[in-house]
Amino acid sequence: MAVKLSIKDACFSYNDKEPVWENINLAVEEGECLCLLGPNGCGKTTLFNCITGNLPLKSGSIYVNQKNIHDFSVIELAKTIGIVFQEHTAPFPYTSLEVVRMGRTPHLGLLETPSKEDTELAYRIMEDLGIAHLAGKSYTHISGGERQLVLIARTLCQEPEIILFDEPTSHLDFKNQALVLRTIKKLSERGMTIVMTSHFPNHVWKVGTKVAMLGYQGMVAQGPVEQVMTEENLTRAYGINIKIHEASSGTGAIHFCEPDFM
Amino acid sequence: MSNNTGVKQISVNLGQIEKKPSTLKWVLMLIFPVCLFVITLFLGRYPVPPNEVFSILGQKLLRLPIETYWTDTVETVVVRVRLPRAIMAALVGAGLSMSGASFQGMFQNPLVSPFVLGVSAGASFGAALGLVLELPALGIQLMAFCFGLIAVAITYFTARIYKVTPILMLVLSGMVVSTFFQSMLSLIKFLADDDEKLPAITFWLMGSLGSVSLQDLAIAVLPILVSMTGLYLLRWRLNVLSMGDREARALGVNSELIKALIIVFTTIISSTAVAFCGIIGWVGQVIPHFCRMIVGPDHKVLIPATMLVGAGYLIMIDNLCRLLTATEIPLGILTAVIGAPVFAYLLRKTKGGWN
């Protein structure tokens, strides 16, 4: 399998003295779903912003399709990497279809507006994700979970090769978490290369094929889910005793973990 | 993905889902400025019968073989006074409204005016300086125009940090620059001679289309039209930009470039408008808000809508200025007197316009 995204000897620092993390090496192969796991403040989001090109690394480099991300133009990068940001409200009540259609931007010329085909593609993608009923609704009047799904549809509209998710389930309730995770799982099963940050370890078992666990002292462990998701590693990353439980269901074993807070 | 999704026919009417404004709405929005424009040529203290207006326009503009049966005075009134005034009103109204809509999109805030980066404060200062220095009319206009550009340039480069210009920085430095130029304007007013120059400055700042000549129009038409075209062509990018810089970049938009282009176009429009007509407030705020109620928030249709409605609105207000009382009311006063309550009403009705 071809390596779609790799990070080599990366180091980042906000103040040029203390690095947030250093010696980060990561590789994501085509079709993998990498979960970037770690506690609040460990630098997950910083690493995420470096991968999206919004923050410059102090040293090291990031390659997309074996090409340094600094050599990508904004448009080229948007055609290759799609980013699903945490949902937020927009200042204007655009229809959800309009928001999804914005995903066509990298494929349009500077002065072009989306064509009928672009609109149809946007609608088809919404249909495919099961959110066609939201198409005519205002993006500002739907729930947080629905907005997150609309943003996923927008990213698919970009037709990227890799999709990055930034904490896609934070501030969502159980049902909406499930909806979003199910969508991510579906994309992953279709072969999309995915990187997602999360601070819910349980979600890694649901969607991840690979995990990189960041702690306050840098990378704790990385590799296949079964190898990395151990009580020892989780305890080290989060700085609190964590127990992994196993339960069986119709489809197989379910793993979940919980901090030992007593 | 596409092999799964590409085959099915779409069973719904996407036009309906998109909430595209109906053709009727467009026709009405087009009729509004056109009718007002024509009516303006008949209206005024000097009575001109409609048939004479049409004959004069036919002869002068379309070069139709119509024999002159009207007096020279009538011709002057129609061609040299009312026509340039109506065209300038349409241009400035359309330009300021489009600028307002563009800035509101770019600043992600439906309450922003086109003057937020200090263009009006800078231009006012320039004009006042020109008046005090006793420059000819063209000199005053040039001063106003240049200081409008200078003020916005100062705002822009103050806001620029690490090669980017965050929206918040732009708003804050716009406030700083506006305050500075307003204070400089006060200083000039304080020092100006009370009998002649101070009233001249005061009247100039109140805004008027009363003195617009064909020559003025000839100078103003090109920069305004070019900038309006620029804003029109960039209108779809405004949707993306209004989602925030970070998302715009993720969608492949060079947000710094688009922001700079929009600032350049709106600044040229506003500076030209202020240079020839003084400060005309509230048009750039009220019209985009009003149009959003009619055609929705999508800038693809909002920008052309503000152009049409803004042109008609300013012609209408200018007619009121001319005809309401025996002496002409300054334009800036009426746009605010009418604009502020209308805006308050719209605000309440749309509950801030956010949702």
Residue B7 forms contact with A (CB below 8 Å): no
Rounded to 10 degrees, what is the CA torsion of B291, B293, B297, B299?
-10
Average model confidence (pLDDT) for chain A? 91
| B239-280 pLDDT tens trace | 999 999 999 999 999 999 999 999 999 999 999 999 999 999
The Cα B67–Cα B55 span in angstroms is: 9
Which positions 171-230 of B are in contact with A (Cβ < 8 Å)?
none
| Range A188-206 average pLDDT | 92
Residue A199, pLDDT > 60, answer yes
Structure tokens at B17: 């889902």
Q: What is the ipTM of this complex?
A: 0.91
Question: Domain segments of chain B: what residues?
Answer: 3-350
> Measured between alpha carbons, how far apart are the two ends of chain B, in Å?
33
The predicted pLDDT at position B223 comes to: 97
The Cα A32–Cα A52 span in angstroms is: 18
Whether residues A136 and B105 touch (CB distance < 8 A) is answered with no
The CATH number for B3-350, chosen from 1.10.3470.10, 3.40.50.740, 3.30.70.80, 3.40.50.300, is 1.10.3470.10
Q: What are phi and psi of B332, to 5 degrees?
A: -60, -30
Whether residues A124 and B253 touch (CB distance < 8 A) is answered with no
Whether residues A54 and B249 touch (CB distance < 8 A) is answered with yes
Least CA distance to A86: which residue of chain B?
Answer: B247
Confidence tier at B4 by pLDDT (50, 70, 90)? very low
| B240-251 pLDDT tens trace | 999 999 999 999
Whether residues A124 and B6 touch (CB distance < 8 A) is answered with yes
Alpha-carbon Rg for chain B, nearest whole angstrom, is: 22
Whether residues B247 and A85 touch (CB distance < 8 A) is answered with yes
What is each CA distance from A109 to A65, A257, B206, B234, in whole angstroms?
Answer: 24, 48, 42, 10
Residue B25 forms contact with A (CB below 8 Å): no
The larger pLDDT score, comparing residue A186 to residue A15, is at A186
What is each CA distance from B71 to A57, B43, B55, B65, B150, in whole angstroms?
Answer: 77, 17, 12, 17, 46
* 3-state secondary structure (DSSP) of residue B164: strand
Residue B249 forms contact with A (CB below 8 Å): yes
Confidence tier at B18 by pLDDT (50, 70, 90)? confident
Token match 């229809």: residue?
A95
Helix axes B83-106, B299-323, angle to 10 degrees: 140
Structure tokens at A56: 């410059």
* 3-state secondary structure (DSSP) of residue A194: strand
User: For residue A62, what are the β-bridge partners?
Assistant: A7
Query: Is the pTM of the predicted complex or chain greater than 0.90?
Result: yes
Q: Specify the DSSP element, H or E, that contains A79.
A: helix A74-80
Closest by Cβ to B252, choosing from A94, A105, A138: A105
Residue B11 forms contact with A (CB below 8 Å): no
Three-point CA angle B238, B244, B250, nearest 5° = 95
Least CA distance to A130: which residue of chain B?
Answer: B5
Residue B288 forms contact with A (CB below 8 Å): no
The Cα A241–Cα A244 span in angstroms is: 10
Token match 């309906």: residue?
B16
Q: What are phi and psi of B261, to 5 degrees?
A: -60, -45
| B157-193 pLDDT tens trace | 999 987 788 999 999 999 999 999 999 999 999 999 8
Residues of A in contact with B234 (CB under 8 A): 110-111
Residue B239 forms contact with A (CB below 8 Å): yes
| DSSP H helices in chain B | 2-5, 14-18, 23-42, 50-60, 72-75, 83-106, 119-132, 137-159, 167-191, 197-206, 214-233, 235-241, 245-250, 255-277, 283-295, 299-323, 331-350
- Number of Cβ pairs < 8 A linking chain A and chain B: 114
Instruction: Tell me the HSE value of A227 on the side-chain side, using a 13 A CA sphere.
Output: 9
